[in-house]
């Protein structure tokens, strides 16, 4: 469940789990349905805008190859004649040098089928730009900056809501994802507690009853998907992800196996040279990187790729060019670039081969087998998160999931507006937040708050406002429907 407006009666009606008061004085029992529904309501206020943005931007980024190609016809996709063969990378490299003789080449992403080859070139101001080459004719098809790609904006929205300064946007996304867990758990509870009321309302033809039923039925599987995606997306976050990495480093093992503490420079090189704005692949970015020890004339790009292929690294590859006299060619079979590499769906094939730029000798190799157990789990989870671990099936299911999340984000406010009718204020569920009176609930909140620090801090703020401000000021108590 992802919104607050599930199976609750109109203001003034008795909630389905609450009995009408009898003439005999009895200890007042906690109305758990209304209580969890109030938590669900508070969660939805925080989560709906974030989840909506994540669903739309995530689906756009998942289909980035198609979306960018449609936006720039003839640049990223090329016509392919029957029997045509892709030219060597060195020939395509020569076409880039001929067109832009004063620019250094930072990287190349090979492709398959009608995908143009992407060369990333450096600019005088320290930035970079993408040059696309027809791999069959070795001619330049166009030049685009990252900001001209729709996928760049989708990735930025998905990562920090375009509020990148100081990590504030990233914190909002992490906070929304954390509260999405609460939204999901409370949604499950009110789904089962409200079944009878939901069925009765629909049978009587009450206004909005059918939409509530659709919301509940869609929300059940969507909630499971949200839990999966939130957990698999946590390694990207600025607070949880950074803390997890630091804990692993302090333990002496490192989150990603070799290279504890991520002291190698390949992460920054990837982010500077791969032609997109997304962060470097978690495991590959933290790979140990060798160095070239010889001197003289550097080997060709074809020879560097051949050395990686000889070790079984499947293509098409992302190849980072050497940085400086001791730099190496880093040939990557990666899950991150959507260019048709088998590692995109089979993470176990992910590997990086470092090749001496003078001798052509392999000076470093880092692949899935070198990852720590945690890194393997996270890498598999990320592949599921991005809709590619199970191939086309994963893509279809991820698309349906994104559409379902959008449905939940739209129907929640619609149900609130219908339920609100002429009620005053926020028309929030009238119930207490029974945290302090139930040790199981309190322990669960503490554990979740420690595991998700931003959620824990925000929970303290919500409880403080509810207990010490809203309940003590009559106008606020009326507006928020507090009892």
Domain locations in the chain as residue ranges: 32-61+169-234+394-479, 79-135+256-371
| Distance (Å, whole) CA 387 – CA 398 | 5
Q: Is the pLDDT confidence value at 430 over 60?
A: yes
* Angle between the N-to-C axes of helices 209-233 and 195-203, in degrees from 0 to 180, rounded to the nearest 10: 150
So what's the pLDDT on residue 25? 44
CA distances from 40 to 6, 46, 225 (A): 9, 10, 17
Q: pLDDT digit string (tens) for 65-118?
A: 999 999 999 999 999 999 999 999 999 999 999 999 999 999 999 999 999 999
Q: Is the pLDDT confidence value at 1 over 50?
A: no
| Banded model confidence at residue 377, pLDDT cuts 50, 70, 90 | confident
| Banded model confidence at residue 287, pLDDT cuts 50, 70, 90 | low
Paired residues of 367 in beta bridges: 351
Burial of residue 223, with CB atoms counted within 10 A of its CB: 0-12 exposed, 13-18 middle, 19 or more buried: buried
Q: Bigger pLDDT: 194 or 349?
A: 349
So what's the pLDDT on residue 444? 80
Q: pLDDT digit string (tens) for 444-468?
A: 888 888 888 888 888 888 888 877 8
Q: Is 53 helix (H, G, I), strand (E, B) or coil?
A: helix
Pick the most confident of 369-378, 400-409, 440-449, 470-479.
400-409
Q: Is the pLDDT confidence value at 402 over 90?
A: yes
So what's the pLDDT on residue 249? 53
Q: Is the pLDDT confidence value at 245 over 50?
A: yes
Q: Bigger pLDDT: 133 or 200?
A: 133
Q: Is the pLDDT confidence value at 260 over 70?
A: no
Q: Bigger pLDDT: 454 or 304?
A: 304
Q: Is the pLDDT confidence value at 320 over 90?
A: yes
CA distances from 35 to 191, 219, 428, 482 (A): 13, 19, 11, 11
Over the chain, what is the mean pLDDT?
82
The predicted model gives 195-203 an average pLDDT of 79
Q: pLDDT digit string (tens) for 263-274?
A: 456 877 888 888
| Distance (Å, whole) CA 255 – CA 286 | 9
Q: Is the pLDDT confidence value at 27 over 80?
A: no
Burial of residue 329, with CB atoms counted within 10 A of its CB: 0-12 exposed, 13-18 middle, 19 or more buried: buried
Q: Residue 244 in contact with residue 255, Cβ under 8 Å?
A: yes
So what's the pLDDT on residue 14? 41
Lowest mean pLDDT among 53-67, 250-264, 335-349: 250-264
- How far the first Cα of the chain sits from its last, in Å, is 25
So what's the pLDDT on residue 23? 42
Q: pLDDT digit string (tens) for 115-165?
A: 999 999 999 998 999 999 999 999 999 999 999 999 999 998 988 887 765
Q: Is the pLDDT confidence value at 10 over 50?
A: no
| Banded model confidence at residue 56, pLDDT cuts 50, 70, 90 | very high
pLDDT > 90 fraction of the chain, expressed in percent and rounded: 36
Q: Is the pLDDT confidence value at 300 over 50?
A: yes
Lowest mean pLDDT among 137-151, 255-269, 295-309, 390-404: 255-269
| Banded model confidence at residue 415, pLDDT cuts 50, 70, 90 | confident
Q: Is the pLDDT confidence value at 379 over 50?
A: yes
């Amino acid at each position: 469940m992802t919104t607050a407006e599930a199976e609750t009666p109109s203001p003034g009606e008795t909630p389905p789990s609450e009995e009408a008061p009898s003439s005999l004085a009895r200890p007042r029992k906690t109305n758990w349905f209304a209580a969890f529904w109030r938590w669900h309501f508070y969660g939805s206020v925080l989560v709906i805008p974030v989840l909506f943005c994540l669903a739309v931007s995530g689906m756009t980024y998942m289909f980035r190859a198609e979306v960018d190609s449609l936006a720039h016809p003839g640049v990223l996709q090329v016509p392919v004649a029957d029997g045509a063969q892709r030219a060597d990378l060195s020939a395509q490299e020569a076409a880039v040098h001929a067109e832009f003789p004063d620019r250094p080449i930072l990287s190349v992403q090979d492709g398959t089928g009608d995908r143009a080859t992407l060369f990333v070139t450096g600019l005088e101001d320290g930035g970079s730009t993408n040059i696309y080459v027809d791999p069959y004719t070795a001619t330049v098809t166009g030049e685009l900056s990252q900001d001209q790609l729709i996928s760049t904006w989708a990735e930025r929205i998905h990562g920090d809501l375009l509020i990148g300064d100081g990590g504030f946007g990233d914190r909002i996304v992490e906070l929304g994802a954390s509260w999405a867990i609460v939204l999901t758990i409370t949604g499950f509870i009110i789904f089962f507690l409200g079944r009878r009321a939901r069925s009765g309302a629909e049978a009587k033809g009450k206004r909005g009853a059918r939409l509530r039923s659709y919301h509940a039925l869609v929300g059940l599987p969507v909630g499971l998907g949200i839990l999966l995606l939130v957990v698999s997306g946590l390694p990207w976050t600025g607070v949880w992800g950074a803390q997890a990495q630091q804990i692993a480093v302090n333990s002496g093992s490192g989150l990603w196996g070799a290279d504890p503490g991520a002291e190698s420079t390949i992460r920054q090189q990837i982010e500077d040279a791969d032609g997109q704005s997304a962060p470097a692949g978690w495991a590959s970015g933290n790979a140990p990187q060798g160095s070239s020890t010889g001197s003289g004339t550097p080997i060709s790009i074809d020879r560097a790729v051949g050395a990686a292929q000889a070790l079984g690294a499947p293509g098409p590859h992302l190849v980072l060019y050497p940085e400086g006299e001791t730099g190496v060619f880093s040939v990557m079979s990666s899950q991150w670039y959507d260019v048709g590499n088998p590692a995109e769906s089979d993470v176990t094939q992910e590997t990086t081969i470092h090749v001496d730029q003078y001798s052509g000798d392999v000076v470093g190799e880092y692949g899935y087998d070198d990852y720590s157990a945690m890194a393997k789990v996270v890498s598999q989870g990320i592949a599921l998160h991005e809709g590619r671990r199970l191939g086309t099936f994963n893509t279809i299911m991820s698309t349906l999931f994104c559409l379902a999340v959008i449905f939940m984000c739209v129907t929640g406010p619609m149900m609130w507006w219908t339920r609100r009718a002429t009620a005053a204020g926020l028309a929030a569920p009238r119930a207490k937040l029974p945290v302090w009176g139930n040790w199981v609930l309190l322990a669960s909140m503490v554990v979740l708050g420690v595991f998700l620090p931003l959620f824990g801090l925000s929970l303290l703020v919500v409880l403080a406002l509810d207990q010490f401000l809203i309940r003590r000021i009559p106008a606020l108590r009326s507006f928020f429907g507090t009892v």
